[in-house]
């Protein structure tokens, strides 16, 4: 059922016009209550915005914000540095720029990628300008964190 709803929902989102749960239910052949439950979950995840009340609720896609944060401005060794760096971040795509960074701390990386990122599922982190001398430390951290958490390990 959710496959049909997801395909039709993707088509409605591409159109960009607001739509209601009744319209999605009619297109998919699924009950309005089931569709409404699916749409509420997408609103909770931050992928849709709901406006209106009761049967007049219209859903529109959230256009992702694009932000850039510079690691060198906050520091790159401690947990507090990662928290301060991500303090003003909103939902969307965030480019974490490592330009000018000379050292990376495990505490910083752990806070950013293992604590902060899972707590903010509406944010996508992208790494940019990671110096080659820090790449080994970055990937070693990624490997250690994957091995520590078997649920995150690849099959």
Model confidence pLDDT, tens digit, residues 55-68 = 788 888 776 677 88
Model confidence pLDDT, tens digit, residues 10-46 = 777 777 678 888 888 888 888 888 888 888 888 887 7
Return the residue matching tokens 């915005």. 49
With contact defined as beta carbons under 8 Å apart, do 141 and 127 qualify? no
pTM assigned to the model: 0.55
Work out the mean pLDDT of the chain and round it to a whole number. 82
What the chain holds in terms of domains, given with CATH numbers, is 2-61 (1.10.10.10), 65-148 (no CATH)
Which positions ≥6 away from 85 have C-beta within 8 Å?
69, 71, 73, 74, 112
């Amino acid at each position: 059922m959710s496959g049909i709803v997801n395909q039709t929902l993707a088509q409605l989102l591409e159109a960009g016009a607001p739509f209601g749960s009744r319209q999605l239910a009619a297109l998919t052949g699924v009950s309005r209550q089931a569709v409404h439950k699916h749409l509420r979950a997408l609103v909770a995840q931050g992928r849709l915005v709901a406006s209106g009340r009761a049967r007049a609720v219209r859903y529109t896609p959230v256009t992702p914000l694009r932000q850039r944060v510079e690691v060198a401005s906050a520091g790159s060794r401690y947990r507090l540095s990662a928290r301060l760096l991500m303090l003003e971040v909103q939902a969307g795509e965030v480019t974490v720029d490592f330009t000018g960074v000379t050292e990376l701390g495990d505490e910083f990386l752990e806070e950013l990628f293992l604590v902060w990122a899972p707590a903010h599922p509406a944010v996508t982190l992208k790494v940019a300008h990671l110096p080659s001398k820090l790449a080994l430390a970055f990937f070693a951290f990624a490997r250690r964190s994957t091995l520590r958490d078997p649920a995150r390990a690849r099959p």
